[in-house]
Structure 1
């Protein structure tokens, strides 16, 4: 579940006054003539959407709406239908919110919609080259990197080998929650603890060397800083402002240098552990993601292996892809269990009947049918992000009778699909039974038909889908086995408003009351 997207959901950064001033200044430029001509000729065949201003497109209208971007898009869908066009400065976005259109694009015609738009200059600073899995253009480099990740790290057999890392992280999670509850009269922050556990698992998988908690926290802070740095800024949509952005670019370059210097230390530590098995580093794991990358030929038949900078990029995306998204899924899941205590009780009863008084183990979760339904319903009601990673087309094509030119951002709006009343009865209700009693057969890969796509769909579906579901199931099972969760303040309703912070998290972070359960 990658967060380093080109999706537009961070546009909430633009201040109204600045946009007004820019609109006045830019409309005086000669670029207006070119833009107007191109826009007039293209708009006839593009999907419908609101008319925009010259050069800045719909940026000003969005800023004036005072809404989060996904809310603005929802309003436009009601007016213009399930496939719409937005122009945000130099970027044209085609936003799709219909399950059948998504299936046609991503499954039936997957190769045409499998590439990515060109990255912004700031993002390229942190990519160092085209050697990334999440944003590489569709082609041999992407295929080599993805095949290596899936076959060598994310296959079911390989995931089982990292069971020790998950057990260690789950034990730490439970102890952290117990300690925090003791110090705060039963109160705990859910997201902070769940994302820390997710991050620890991924660190073990990525580097294969044990880290001190100080190093873990520093790594986490640096990864978070990167996500802030690559959020789209105004100049990404209005390149004419780039010359005025030297300060931000310099800060990004400095952050990149700091990241490389910090991460390379662990890369070298892993290299030494491989070269000297049984040496001084006794905490090294037998295998790690780095091991698959050291001698990887990025394109078969060509002697090209990743540089240290490439390794930093690949490790960064591996860590960022599964930390905030998994942590957010746990926060939403615990919130739903608090709001639906009968579901929490039923889940606890299933855990109790499956494992008795012993601690839940990874092998147990696959036997729990209701747990499976709970996790699927979490992903349906609360997909990790509002939009999939941005897609692009490899050649000009059409969809739903409209033109899809090369160079546009093709966005898929997930809540409109997973909450479509034509697909889901009572879609706003949190009801795991829809997956347990055979009423719904939702293939979350989308191959058999798109009903929900929390991990995307088609050729660019998130390669970590299997790993993510394992982590969420195990974490939910352990947290419910150990604790009874309730609202704070007692008797209050859970506020389910969301916002985008790399992943879609609760607008009001969930602080919950926990009570340890007896194992007898």
Structure 2
């Protein structure tokens, strides 16, 4: 949802107007039997007939999160946007987030209907994030959390992460040597995380060419599922017949690319010791014979591809984005960088940082928490939906088919919850000055991973990756701005996550 306006911006404004007139002319054929007449929905900006606020968003020349940010002060902590055939209810306060996701967690634990394109790539909502609240979701989530992302299981991938960190440092050093000390942060961080997650999913050795190929394919998947105009006005699908064909083609390439690695891993498990380059454990190992409540068969190869793609795509750009913003903050605040390096040095001495060191680094953990407060990877948590009709939130009715969207910045920047919320200050989390439980169990003040029953199952993994990469990158290099930059540009844009508008280039100098 957050990328709606960026994908719609490619359409010509005149086309929007023409379509609007067409739809208005057909209004007597499409008559909307609005349930809102009998429901007390949250307030919101007035819209056009049939299309609602859809074209207001698309014609605003702003990305969706910017549009929401602009109107939120006027309409308050909960408001409604009518986006064609979809009703979006935007929530932007800690109190309402807690009511919905903690106090009424079971009520709002489902997902809304998917677009036809997304359904293709989720294998008809057969992934942890897309599944409706019910038996299949419980089976998939339990398996991911207990079988793959538990503390014990994550430790089994220690060697994978250690190797990826060494490769990351080598890549940064080589790039700096060939480019006058300058490196691209996001690109290199993203590659390191992607390699880790590929190994965790498939458990087989891959060369550089293969890694790049899979990366290209999974990026195509992300681009293909971006919201389009006909996702909100299905009648317009007649105007875009090539879109579904394109989605099917991308899905076919995804399957042709990844199914061979599924088959390879299956063969390794049947013939232990046949491949010395294979990992001892992978996510696929937990999925081959997984029992799903309510069905007799184990996951198909297509479903396995969807589940592995979910883990890879869900964990790559989110972590890499955090690293880009984190390095930018260290460059902006040399004192913070010095304090972090001093803690690393006092904790590990001359040896390289290991995962077991991370828990001892109080300042590192405070820094990463402040990083997630100020720069959550996405400005909207994954969309929620009521399990059944009759749900209420903040005194308003929430239809079962509505998209319940949680807009995060007003929560993590609320002056009623935070001291000097605009300031980037890791010290706020030290010595009991301020705190925040990012799981939401003891209270909601920030929710970069969501909270409640549908909280991101990869929270612990993401924390390890962010902290380990930050520690290694600061241990090895001193980071500074380009000589031509007087001040870093902290403006943002939405790609798959909220990234820096100008991709961060930095100078690095090896530590003595």
User: TM-score per shorter chain, which class?
Assistant: over 0.9
Measure, in 1, the Cα distance between the counterparts of 2:29 and 2:68: 26
Give 1:20's aligned residue: 17
Give 1:299's aligned residue: 293
**Secondary structure of residue in 2 paired with 1:240:** helix
Give 1:474's aligned residue: 468
Q: Does 1:34 align with 2:31?
A: yes
Measure, in 1, the Cα distance between the counterparts of 2:36 and 2:137: 36
Q: Render the CA deviation track for 1:129-149: whole Å, top value 9, x for unaligned.
A: 332111000000000000000
In structure 2, relative to structure 1, the CA distance for the partners of 1:32 and 1:458 (3 Å cut) is farther
TM-score, length-scaled by structure 1: 0.96
Measure, in 1, the Cα distance between the counterparts of 2:250 and 2:7: 21
Measure, in 1, the Cα distance between the counterparts of 2:387 and 2:462: 29
Give 1:222's aligned residue: 217
Deviation of 1:32 (Å): 6.8
Measure, in 1, the Cα distance between the counterparts of 2:485 and 2:46: 47
Deviation of 1:33 (Å): 6.6
- 8 Å contact from structure 1 (residues 154, 466) kept in 2: yes
Structure 1: 5+ residue stretches without partners: 1-6
Q: Does 1:159 align with 2:154?
A: yes
Deviation of 1:490 (Å): 4.8
Measure, in 2, the Cα distance between the counterparts of 1:345 and 1:31: 67
Corresponding residue to 1:64 among 59, 71, 74:
59
Deviation of 1:439 (Å): 1.0
Q: Which runs of 4+ in 1 moved over 4 A?
A: none
Measure, in 2, the Cα distance between the counterparts of 1:82 and 1:17: 33
Deviation of 1:437 (Å): 2.2
Q: Kindly report which structure 2 residues correspond to 1:295-374, keeping only aligned pairs within 5 A, or say none.
A: 295-299=289-293, 302-374=295-367
Give 1:395's aligned residue: 388
Q: Render the CA deviation track for 1:140-159: whole Å, top value 9, x for unaligned.
A: 00000000000011101111
In structure 2, relative to structure 1, the CA distance for the partners of 1:67 and 1:350 (3 Å cut) is same
In structure 2, relative to structure 1, the CA distance for the partners of 1:471 and 1:145 (3 Å cut) is same
- 8 Å contact from structure 2 (residues 7, 226) kept in 1: no
Give 1:102's aligned residue: 97
Deviation of 1:492 (Å): 1.8
Measure, in 1, the Cα distance between the counterparts of 2:234 and 2:2: 16
Q: Does 1:147 align with 2:145?
A: no
- 8 Å contact from structure 2 (residues 78, 92) kept in 1: yes
**Secondary structure of residue in 2 paired with 1:366:** helix
Q: Does 1:385 align with 2:368?
A: no
Give 1:45's aligned residue: 40
* RMSD value, Cα: 1.3
Measure, in 2, the Cα distance between the counterparts of 1:117 and 1:379: 27
- 8 Å contact from structure 1 (residues 32, 54) kept in 2: no
In structure 2, relative to structure 1, the CA distance for the partners of 1:346 and 1:394 (3 Å cut) is same
Q: Render the CA deviation track for 1:206-238: whole Å, top value 9, x for unaligned.
A: 001110111101111111110000001010011
TM-score, length-scaled by structure 2: 0.97
Measure, in 2, the Cα distance between the counterparts of 1:264 and 1:33: 43
In structure 2, relative to structure 1, the CA distance for the partners of 1:51 and 1:164 (3 Å cut) is same
Measure, in 2, the Cα distance between the counterparts of 1:282 and 1:191: 32
**Secondary structure of residue in 2 paired with 1:27:** helix
Give 2:256's aligned residue: 261
Deviation of 1:34 (Å): 2.2
Deviation of 1:111 (Å): 0.4
- 8 Å contact from structure 1 (residues 31, 55) kept in 2: no
**Secondary structure of residue in 2 paired with 1:65:** coil
Deviation of 1:398 (Å): 1.0
Measure, in 2, the Cα distance between the counterparts of 1:8 and 1:176: 32
In structure 2, relative to structure 1, the CA distance for the partners of 1:416 and 1:126 (3 Å cut) is same
- 8 Å contact from structure 2 (residues 344, 475) kept in 1: yes
**Secondary structure of residue in 2 paired with 1:442:** coil
Q: Render the CA deviation track for 1:140-189: whole Å, top value 9, x for unaligned.
A: 00000000000011101111111001001100000000000001000000
Measure, in 2, the Cα distance between the counterparts of 1:270 and 1:246: 37
Q: Does 1:426 align with 2:420?
A: yes
- 8 Å contact from structure 2 (residues 44, 81) kept in 1: yes
Deviation of 1:288 (Å): 0.4
Q: Does 1:274 align with 2:269?
A: yes
In structure 2, relative to structure 1, the CA distance for the partners of 1:308 and 1:77 (3 Å cut) is same
Structure 2: 5+ residue stretches without partners: none
Measure, in 1, the Cα distance between the counterparts of 2:257 and 2:71: 45
Deviation of 1:275 (Å): 1.2
Measure, in 1, the Cα distance between the counterparts of 2:364 and 2:175: 26
Give 1:4's aligned residue: none
Measure, in 2, the Cα distance between the counterparts of 1:147 and 1:31: 48
Measure, in 1, the Cα distance between the counterparts of 2:428 and 2:29: 53
Deviation of 1:70 (Å): 1.2
